Structure 1
Amino acid sequence: MSPALHPVVCLGGANVDRKLRVAAPVRPGSSNPVSARETWGGVARNVAENLARCGVPVQLLTAVGQDAAGRALLDDAARCGIDTSAAEVVADALTGSYTAVLNPDGSLHVALAHMDLCEQLTPDWLARHAGRCRSAALVVADLNLPAATLAALVAAAAQAEASPLVLVAVSEAKMVRLPAGLQGVRLLVLNRGELAAWAGTERLADGVARLRAAGVHDVVVTLGEAGLCHTTPAGELIHLAAPAVSPEALVDVTGAGDALAAGLCRGLWRGDVAAQGWSPTCVQALARAARTVQSAATVLPDGDADSDPISLPPIPS
């Protein structure tokens, strides 16, 4: 069977996203009028939905509470085409939540994450799903997983014949969960602040060099509206600009990073990266992220970003 016919397995967070958009600049210590919207979220879940909506077979390994939110979350994921048959349903626990307070222009003011259920995703839990991970075309894990589970996952990925492993950062605070040795990590996706938190330096090139010295094969550093940087096989950094999004078109930044990460994973799954290098895949991923910030949805309801109408910047030669 062709590797592209095997599923992508996503491990990590799945939760309720609550988006509160203030009507005027936030006044600390006071009540602020907001508009509110609830959607499904979680980095691993969002990546899985983006992939499923682009026609990629995907399995989600996560934990939800034995509550109405957990049942609804899994039902919705199944409707999107995600295989949730191996998701853990934990009794006497609340499904995780992520509450984003957005500024009037749609940019993020502050976010509050309640992801305690991910602590149930232990190395023993991972061992029960070792067969799924070994048979996957690609394994994608977010850093909501406990440190011990991430260490076990990275160790397994370093073995011969293991499925390629992609790690997606979730916050600066959780960068400490990365193991010291990162051999076996095919790709690490993180933003500039998360890189600085891990590497202890604001110098982008120095931080990426430290990741590669720790064993990471490829690194993509997202830079928000400035685009991203990706590594080359020689260890050089290539900068790609993001498609321009006018302030009037910006609706909600929530989910843009997950859309971009999914685009990168899709390029690996399809073999585009092996055939063409990272730049074409990164351009398509940036386009999907740009479309996401222009939508109220955390994940775009339509599918393939290849037909995106946004005018893309040229790829550096």
Structure 2
Amino acid sequence: MNPAVRPVVCLGGANVDRKLRVAAPVLPGSSNPVSAQEAFGGVARNVAENLARGGVPVHLLTAVGQDRAGRALLDDAARCGIDTGAVLVVADALTGSYTAVLNPDGSLHLALAHMDLCEQLTPDWLAERSTRCRTAALLVADLNLPAGTLAALVTASVDADAPPLVLVAVSEAKMVRLPARLQGVRLLVLNRGELVAWAGTEAVADGVARLQAAGVQDVVVTLGAKGLCHTGVGGALVFMPAPSVPSEAIVDVTGAGDALAAGLCHGLWSGAVAAQGWSPTCTQALVRAALTVQSAATVVPDADPLSPIPS
């Protein structure tokens, strides 16, 4: 099969996003007026939608409840062009949810994640979908997956015929799920707080060096509005600034990190990273993230920033 038409398989969280934006600074212990918006989210799902809108064939492997929210989530994914044929639908369970309380400027004040269904994405569940995984062009897994499932993915990725594996962190609390041995991981995407939580050091370079010593080939550390660092030749860190976005243009930061991760995955899938290195792909990924914070949508419909950079 031509690698250019093989799909990206995204494994992990899919949920309903509820975004509550306060009208004034939060007053603890009091009722705070908010505006509310509901959309679909989850790291794996958001990455999948960004890729699908960029013209990439995508399969989503996740779990939803047999409820109205789960049906709506799957219908929406299908409209975006995402293959959901192998999604686990669980009876008598609620589809996951992510509730974000946003400050008046659109920055995140507090987030509450109900992702219990992801615990049903076990190694046995993964084994039942092994054919889809083996025939993918790229596997993208978020750390909502149980530790055993992540370990099984990493173990399988060592095989010479296995597709490249990208791991995307989701929170500082879930960094404990990252396997100790990471040989076979093509790319790990995480933010600075998640890196500190895993490595136990504030020094980004030291944390990245420890990840590479554990076996990760490349690491991208996101730094919010500052930009990102990516590993370069010989493991050296390369800093790339984010596009400048005026504070008054920021609408909602939800989904920006997932948009950036999708841009990185697109660069691997398209061959841009192999041809040009990480910097051009990171530039476009940062543009995608900047567009996302300026939109009320978790995933920006315009897919242009995922297009490969002409050589």
CA distance in 1, matches of 2:232, 2:184: 17
Q: Aligned-residue CA RMSD in angstroms?
A: 1.0
Query: For residues 8-65 of structure 1, what are the alpha-carbon distances to aligned partners after superposition, in whole Å with 9 as ceiling and x for unaligned?
Result: 0000000000000000000000000000000000000000000000000000000000
State whether structure 2 residue 276 is matched by structure 1 residue 276: yes
- 1:166: which partner in 2? 166
How much does 1:306 deviate? 5.4
Structural mapping, 1:196-215, within 5 Å: 196-215=196-215
- 2:303: which partner in 1? 303
- What residue ranges of structure 1 are gaps of 5+ in the alignment? 309-317
State whether structure 2 residue 227 is matched by structure 1 residue 227: yes
CA distance in 1, matches of 2:137, 2:164: 7
- 1:312: which partner in 2? none
State whether structure 2 residue 111 is matched by structure 1 residue 86: no
Tell whether the 8 Å contact from 1:175 to 1:198 is kept in structure 2 after alignment. yes
- 1:147: which partner in 2? 147
- 1:237: which partner in 2? 237
Tell whether the 8 Å contact from 1:53 to 1:304 is kept in structure 2 after alignment. no
Structural mapping, 1:49-88, within 5 Å: 49-88=49-88
CA distance in 2, matches of 1:121, 1:71: 18
- 2:251: which partner in 1? 251
How much does 1:2 deviate? 2.2
Question: Letter of the aligned partner of 1:4 in structure 2?
Answer: A
Tell whether the 8 Å contact from 2:263 to 2:306 is kept in structure 1 after alignment. no
State whether structure 2 residue 11 is matched by structure 1 residue 14: no
- 2:182: which partner in 1? 182
Question: Letter of the aligned partner of 1:300 in structure 2?
Answer: V
How much does 1:304 deviate? 1.9
Which TM-score applies when normalising by structure 1?
0.96
3-state SS in 2 of match to 1:106: coil
Question: Letter of the aligned partner of 1:188 in structure 2?
Answer: L
> Relative to structure 1, is the Cα distance of residues 213 and 307 closer, same or farther in structure 2, using a 3 angstrom cutoff?
closer
- 1:106: which partner in 2? 106
CA distance in 2, matches of 1:178, 1:269: 23
Question: Letter of the aligned partner of 1:257 in structure 2?
Answer: G
- 2:34: which partner in 1? 34
How much does 1:136 deviate? 0.3
CA distance in 2, matches of 1:219, 1:10: 18
How much does 1:109 deviate? 0.2
How much does 1:119 deviate? 0.2
How much does 1:303 deviate? 1.6
3-state SS in 1 of match to 2:303: coil
CA distance in 1, matches of 2:247, 2:13: 30
3-state SS in 1 of match to 2:113: strand
How much does 1:159 deviate? 1.4
Tell whether the 8 Å contact from 1:96 to 1:116 is kept in structure 2 after alignment. yes
How much does 1:232 deviate? 1.2
CA distance in 2, matches of 1:305, 1:206: 31
Q: How many aligned residue pairs are there?
A: 308
Tell whether the 8 Å contact from 2:266 to 2:306 is kept in structure 1 after alignment. no
CA distance in 1, matches of 2:230, 2:288: 17
Query: For residues 186-218 of structure 1, what are the alpha-carbon distances to aligned partners after superposition, in whole Å with 9 as ceiling and x for unaligned?
Result: 000000000000000010000000000000000
3-state SS in 2 of match to 1:17: strand
Tell whether the 8 Å contact from 2:118 to 2:144 is kept in structure 1 after alignment. yes
CA distance in 2, matches of 1:306, 1:63: 27
CA distance in 2, matches of 1:204, 1:133: 32
CA distance in 2, matches of 1:220, 1:294: 23
Query: Identity of aligned pairs, percent?
Result: 81
CA distance in 2, matches of 1:207, 1:79: 40
Which TM-score applies when normalising by structure 2?
0.98
How much does 1:233 deviate? 3.4
CA distance in 1, matches of 2:307, 2:290: 13
Tell whether the 8 Å contact from 2:108 to 2:253 is kept in structure 1 after alignment. yes
3-state SS in 2 of match to 1:234: helix
